[in-house]
Amino acid sequence: MTVRVGIVGTGFGRRVQIPALRLVSGAAVTAVASGSRERAQAVAAELGIPHAFGSGEELARSSDVDLVIPPSAGRARSPGSITSCATSPIAARHAS
* Residue-wise pLDDT tens digits, 57-87: 899 899 999 999 988 765 544 555 555 555 5
CATH of domain 3-95: 3.40.50.720
Question: Among 46, 69, 72, which residue's Cα sits nearest to residue 59?
Answer: 69
Predicted local distance difference test score (pLDDT) of residue 96: 46
Q: Give the pLDDT mean for 37-47.
A: 97
Predicted local distance difference test score (pLDDT) of residue 70: 87
